[in-house]
């Protein structure tokens, strides 16, 4: 008779077909009796004949009937064991596996068990414990789904955000844009755990939510922000932009500045001009071009004397007053007298 160790967390469906009686020993006992006792003592579990009539065999029944009639398949006993993983059926948490505290035991739970046995409210209440235990990325994904079930669609409350720490790395910008963040210490904490990670978009969303609520960043926060891609620049106030590091201006891309308003560009342009003062010619124009929306008339004239080629997209970002302001002794450009065929007038 074949034998099998009992797997953990599996349901057993068993059918035994007796096709021939096993040989008996000289004393009328099974020749395998001693072996059976040994195996049982070692913890091996044998399929029970009491379950032979289980009607749940389904498509296996015709196959079993066919093999039982085929002499070439006859064995002392033919046993078929069907295993069904609970994960493929119902996700019902066994009562003894229900989680009442976040601890190291959950590391050994399968994903379906975490889904069924861990409550989102428990995760929110014990987020500090979640961050102290080395859960896998897959397990953390399950935890995020459980939290989303509790707090969808309004987003996480600030009481939970304050304790997120490394769990912040599991979140998306869309998640963060739902938040209400008022604590600078919370912002600093989340910035610290994000350093060295690919989190530029999440950091920008965090800064956007904090500033939208009236929050103000201090110098330490701005210094930390300098370690990320400057996708957050247009979320900062003009006052805060006056404190950004020159390295941020060097790293900024045109798309990072597209959402900036005129008061912000008025601050960024002179800072960028100072940051790029040691380069000249075409290299200077390439670097300063994204900031020209804040350039005054005098600087635009200086660029024109260098005969730089400005594309229409850049030209349209310039301040109207800076373009229309006449040079000394020259008449001002009147938009009402423009020719519709002029690119300049179409921009006006």
CB atoms under 10 Å from CB of 9, counted, come to: 12
Is residue 237 within 8 Å of residue 266, measured between CB atoms?
no
Q: What total number of domains does the chain contain? A: 1
Determine the straight-line distance between the first and last CA of the chain, rounded to whole angstroms.
Answer: 92
Is residue 86 situated within a structural domain? Answer: no
Is residue 299 situated within a structural domain?
yes
In a domain, 288, yes or no: yes
CB-based contact 318:293 (threshold 8 Å): yes
Q: Is 60 exceeded by the pLDDT of residue 209?
A: yes
Range of the structural domain that residue 242 is part of:
238-324
The predicted-structure confidence for 7-44, as pLDDT tens digits, reads as follows: 444 443 433 334 344 444 444 444 445 544 444 444 44
Residue 113 has a CB neighbour count (10 Å cut-off) of 21
- pTM (2 d.p.): 0.67
Residue 27 has a pLDDT of 44
10 Å Cβ neighbour count for 196? 7
Which helix H or strand E contains 82, and what residues bound it?
strand 78-85
Identify the residue whose tokens are 């900036």: 260
Q: What one-character DSSP code corresponds to residue 24? A: B
Q: Round to whole Å and give the CA distance between 212 and 208.
A: 6
> Is 226 a member of any domain?
no
Kindly report the number of other CB atoms within 10 A of residue 190's CB atom: 25
The residue with greater pLDDT, 302 or 342, is 302
Domain-embedded: residue 135: no
Q: What does the alpha-carbon distance between residue 221 and residue 192 come to, in Å, rounded to a whole number?
A: 10
Per-residue pLDDT tens over the stretch 295-329 = 999 999 888 888 888 889 999 999 988 888 765 54
Instruction: Using alpha carbons, select from 212, 211, 251 the residue that is nearest to residue 231.
Output: 251
Cα–Cα distances (Å) from 129 to 58, 101, 122, 189, 212, in that order, read: 46, 9, 11, 16, 31
Residues 264 and 211 sit within 8 Å (Cβ to Cβ): no
């Amino acid at each position: 008779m074949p034998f099998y160790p009992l797997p953990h967390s599996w349901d057993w469906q068993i059918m035994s077909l007796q096709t021939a009686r096993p040989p008996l020993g000289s004393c009328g006992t099974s020749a395998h009796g001693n072996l059976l006792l040994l195996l049982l003592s070692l913890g091996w579990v044998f399929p029970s004949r009491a379950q032979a009539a289980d009607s749940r065999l389904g498509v296996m029944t015709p196959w079993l009937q066919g093999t039982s009639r085929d002499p070439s398949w006859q064995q002392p006993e033919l046993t078929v064991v069907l295993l069904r993983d609970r994960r493929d059926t119902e996700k019902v948490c066994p009562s003894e596996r229900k989680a009442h505290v976040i601890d190291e035991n959950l590391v050994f739970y399968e994903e379906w068990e975490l889904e069924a046995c861990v409550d989102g409210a428990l995760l929110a209440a014990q987020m500090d414990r979640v961050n102290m235990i080395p859960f896998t990325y897959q397990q953390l994904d399950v935890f995020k789904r459980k939290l989303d079930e509790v707090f969808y669609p309004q987003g996480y409350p600030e009481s939970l955000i304050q304790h997120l720490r490394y769990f912040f790395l599991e979140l998306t910008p869309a998640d963060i844009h739902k938040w209400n963040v008022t604590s600078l210490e919370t912002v600093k904490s989340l910035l610290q755990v994000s350093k060295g990670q690919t989190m530029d978009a999440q950091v920008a969303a965090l800064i956007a939510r904090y500033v939208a609520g009236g929050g103000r960043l201090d110098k330490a926060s701005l210094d930390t922000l300098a370690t990320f891609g400057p996708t957050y620049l247009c979320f900062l106030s003009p006052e805060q932009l006056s404190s950004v590091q020159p390295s941020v201006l060097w790293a900024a891309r045109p798309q990072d500045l597209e959402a900036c308003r005129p008061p912000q560009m008025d601050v960024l342009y002179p800072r960028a001009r100072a940051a790029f003062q040691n380069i000249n010619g075409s290299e200077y124009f390439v670097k300063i071009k994204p900031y020209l929306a804040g350039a005054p008339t005098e600087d635009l004239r200086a660029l024109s004397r260098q005969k730089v080629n400005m594309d229409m997209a850049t030209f349209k970002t310039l301040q109207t007053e800076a373009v229309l302001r006449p040079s000394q002794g020259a008449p001002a450009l009147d938009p009402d007298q423009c020719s519709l065929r002029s690119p300049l007038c179409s921009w006006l």
